[in-house]
A and B are shown apart, each in its own frame.
Chain A
Amino acid sequence: MCKKVTVVEHNSDTPSEQTISFAHNNLLDCLLTNNIPKEYHCKEGFCGACRTELIAGDVEYLLDPLAYIDDGEILACCCKPVGDIKIKA
């Protein structure tokens, strides 16, 4: 069973959604291979450039993230979804 990642984009007033399948090493790879732009620097969880808002669902970390993450935020470079998730682009 492939996990689904729903990406919500808030451009102007109308939010648009697209859903992609997760079959990658981490969430960042999944977004980038689906041509969804996501900023990243270190790819090792210490810089925080790939900080992403998690709207629904849960993720697990592949390594201990050192970057500051606020409540409701995740680091795309070092996590993967536990089930289906919804994130902000």
Chain B
Amino acid sequence: MHNKRANSIQNGHLASMKYTTFNQKNNDPLLEPMFFGNPVNVARYDQQKHNIFEKLIEKQISFFWRPEEVDVSKDRVDFQKLSESEKHIFISNLKYQTLLDSIQGRSPNIAFLPIISIPELETWTETWSFFETIHSRSYTHILRNLFGDPSSIFSDIVENEQIKKRAADISKYYDDLIFYTQLWQTLGEGTHTINGEEHVVTMRTLKIKLFLCMNSVNALEAIRFYVSFACTFAFAERELMEGNSKIIRLISRDENLHLTSTQHILNLWAKGKDDPEMAEIALEFKDQARDIFLDAVAQEKEWAEYLFQNGSMIGLNKDILCQYVEFIANHRMSAIGLGQPFDIKNNPLPWMNNYLNSDNVQVAPQESEISSYLVGQIDSEVGSNDFDEFEL
């Protein structure tokens, strides 16, 4: 171990792998790939290699919201009226979403920031993760309202087998990329033995791990939230738990934007518009990418089964929810060139779209008040006749 490290230093590898918080090399960020080029130095947004990320940052910031703005007090009364099986559905979904956003609130930062090379993608990643932390805070807001002390709900997230199974599958791609990035940063490329286990670190393997991780994140943003979204909106269709529904609408709007970003990253690679080696990897590992997506689909269906194990809820059952997962998966998979593997053609839950649109004016009739409003809209147009009524 020690020798290898010494070798790396001798070969000058170590210096080039080590992350620097301000890269002093005067590089042109417009020529950097999205990942694994030079570390970012100046956070500048006047020019972008991929301007889509700058636009996504602007859009995401315009969506800013705080959980406390949504009144969830009526939900407490509604919750008492739910049947035991419905309570199981509601709480289990909140636990699962808490898990998802716990992971997403930190992982893009930890996994991607050390290897990102362009400022607009760096800031997009930070903005994206920050919004996931708002989502996490909103679950505490919802649960505190329902239970006073939500500790037992939170501790079940690290004990419940169904949740843990999903956590392991989601975090493994992140963890693998993070670990290999750490090896590369400290030891450079080469074969490294850590705790008796051999790890071959090459730029190619790092990029493959990045590709698989991005596909896993994309599948997460694309479908993993949708079973719980459907349940939430099915309650709202019955005018139940509407405060919660309003929060989930805001979350789903954010998640749609996050999904757009991972679709852009995957397509920029696949179409050869960024790092040419990533285009090769996208082609070579297409089957693995498809498997990652299909695994997520299978797990979401299992989750639907777990939710409804004690009984269904009005307006939803396991089968229709599984069909919805397939329907959404078709759309999401075709967006990244993975085809439409499922037979389903029509949306089995058409009313979902009333909740998923971010239209500022048209609000679902079930809503008790409009959740979206304009912030900081200032009319800066001044015409010559605007002061006509003034007299000095």
Contact = CB atoms under 8 A, between A and B. Distances in A.
Are A and B interaction partners?
A: yes
Interface of A: 37, 39-44, 46-49, 51, 64, 66-68, 70
Contacts of A43: 357-359
Given A43-B357, A46-B257, 4 more contacts: A37-B346, A42-B256, A42-B358, A66-B55
Contact of B357 (A37, A41, A66, A70): A41
B253 to A, nearest CB: 7
B325 to A, nearest CB: 14
Nearest to B346: A37
Contacts of A70: 267
Interface residues of B, number: 22
Contact of B353 (A40, A51, A67, A68): A40
A66 B331 contact: no
Given A39-B331, A42-B253, A46-B59, A68 B357 contact: no
Interface of A is mostly: loop
Contacts of B56: 66
B59 to A, nearest CB: 6
Interface stretch (B258-266, B304-312, B378-386): B258-266
A6 B125 CA distance: 41
B357 A48 contact: no
A37 B257 CA distance: 23
A39 B328 CA distance: 10
A40 B359 CA distance: 11
Contact of A44 (B55, B347, B358): B358
B103 interface: no
Contacts of A51: 331, 335
Contacts of B357: 40-43
Contact of B259 (A40, A44, A47, A64): A47
Nearest 10 CB-CB pairings of A with B: A47-B256, A41-B356, A68-B263, A43-B357, A42-B358, A68-B264, A67-B260, A43-B359, A68-B267, A66-B55
A68 B265 CA distance: 10
B167 interface: no
Contact of B260 (A37, A39, A48, A64): A48
Nearest to B330: A39
B294 interface: no
Contacts of A47: 256-257, 259-260, 356
A51 B356 CA distance: 16
B52 interface: yes
